[in-house]
């Protein structure tokens, strides 16, 4: 009979709690980049108190979707794990697959409810009647809800089908992180927009936040996800990863997408050379460390690469939002600490 402590640790492992800082980092990157581009000013998100509350609610909702997806995946993979990964909590009998599956559905529902109520909750928690965000916080935009539902469907679809088609599974996994960043970008327009939608406009999609520039970091995060998932998909197979050289070239190319973001940003932005240099250096040093680890262990590489999401996000943010980039680095350290409590993969 498993103890309460064993069940708690098993839940943390099944929910991949160690990866939640990377989810928050992706959300932060998308939110900050979108807010900066829309406002066309160098005033950071952390200097706008109106942005903090919806950002935190958005992080919470996305973390719940992530945990739900991980739990659902483990519940669906019960039979596979009995043969190939018998030391996981469900095959060991510490957790019950049907209950974990039911819990994942509940978390999906709670996440979507929070997502749909972020705007009303923001204004209700505001202590300032004439808050900057007030005119926009009560509106619920169609594209935000649709993106949240789409993200949830892709996460759930991955959980059910990732063992059936490897190419489709990698695409879905990359799409999950891509949509995570895009969803965060869609929420930032309310904090940066000058116009307050009237009640009859609340359900109309407002897509002023989206631009060609914003697709670059989202695609970068998606590509990075596909590459590390490529290795993760081979974890249960013995032997070394066969395409290490190709993976290395492609992986090292991803942070260079930040240069494209820098080159496309309006000239009014003050480019922070020092913070960008530090961020991209840290990102590449960690990537080389992960690639070196791949020679001996695929799980170690995957764990390192997962934590590396935060440093990749910092690279995109550092040129214009050093404080947010520093938060991403802090989240990276938190992710490493959580990996000592519960495995990241």
Average pLDDT over residues 53-70: 94
- Please choose, from the candidates 123, 83, 75, 116, the residue with its C-alpha nearest in 3D space to the C-alpha of residue 99: 75
The pLDDT, as a whole number, for residue 26 is 97
Confidence of residue 134 (pLDDT cuts 50, 70, 90): very low
pLDDT in tens, 182-215: 999 888 765 545 444 444 444 455 565 566 677 8
Identify whether the C-beta of residue 301 lies closer than 8 Å to the C-beta of residue 293: yes
Cα R_g (the chain), whole angstroms: 20
Token output for 243: 């395409």
- Please choose, from the candidates 30, 65, 23, the residue with its C-alpha nearest in 3D space to the C-alpha of residue 45: 30
The pLDDT, as a whole number, for residue 253 is 95
Token output for 109: 């529902």
pLDDT in tens, 165-182: 888 999 999 999 999 999
Confidence of residue 83 (pLDDT cuts 50, 70, 90): confident
Q: Which residues of 291-313 are buried (b: 16+ CB within 10 A; e: fewer)?
A: bebbeeebebbbbbbbbbbbbbb
**Alpha-carbon distance 91 to 84, whole Å?**
10
The pLDDT, as a whole number, for residue 130 is 39
* pTM of this structure: 0.89
Identify whether the C-beta of residue 136 lies closer than 8 Å to the C-beta of residue 35: no
The ranges assigned to domains in the chain are 8-339
Confidence of residue 116 (pLDDT cuts 50, 70, 90): confident
């Amino acid at each position: 009979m498993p103890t309460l402590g064993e069940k708690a640790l098993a839940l943390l492992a099944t929910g991949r709690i160690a990866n939640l800082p990377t989810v928050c980092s992706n959300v932060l990157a998308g939110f900050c980049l979108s807010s900066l581009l829309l406002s066309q000013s160098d005033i950071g998100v952390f200097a706008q108190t109106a942005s903090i509350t919806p950002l935190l609610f958005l992080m919470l909702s996305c973390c719940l979707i992530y945990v739900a997806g991980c739990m659902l995946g483990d519940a669906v993979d019960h039979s596979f794990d009995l043969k190939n990964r018998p030391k996981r909590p469900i095959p060991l009998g510490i957790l019950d697959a049907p209950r974990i599956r039911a819990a994942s559905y509940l978390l999906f529902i709670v996440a979507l409810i929070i997502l749909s109520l972020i705007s009303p909750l923001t204004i209700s928690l505001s202590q300032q009647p004439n808050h900057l965000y007030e005119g926009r916080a009560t509106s619920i935009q169609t594209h935000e809800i649709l993106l949240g539902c789409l993200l949830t469907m892709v996460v759930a679809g991955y959980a059910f089908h990732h063992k059936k088609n490897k190419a489709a599974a990698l695409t879905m996994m990359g799409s999950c992180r891509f949509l995570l960043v895009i969803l965060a970008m869609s929420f930032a327009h309310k904090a940066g927009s000058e116009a307050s939608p009237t009640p009859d406009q609340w359900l109309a999609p407002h897509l002023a936040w989206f631009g060609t520039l914003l697709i670059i970091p989202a695609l970068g995060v998606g590509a990075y996800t596909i590459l590390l998932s490529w290795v993760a998909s081979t974890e249960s197979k013995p032997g070394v990863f066969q395409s290490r050289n190709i993976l290395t070239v492609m992986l090292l190319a991803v942070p260079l997408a930040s240069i494209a973001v820098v080159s496309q940003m309006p000239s009014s932005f003050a480019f922070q050379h020092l913070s960008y240099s530090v961020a991209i250096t840290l990102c590449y040093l960690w990537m080389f460390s992960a690639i070196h680890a791949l020679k001996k262990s695929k799980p170690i590489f995957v764990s390192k690469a997962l934590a590396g999401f935060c440093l990749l996000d910092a690279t995109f943010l550092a040129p214009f939002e050093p404080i947010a980039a520093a938060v991403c680095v802090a989240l990276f350290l938190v992710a490493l600490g959580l990996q000592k409590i519960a495995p990241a993969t």
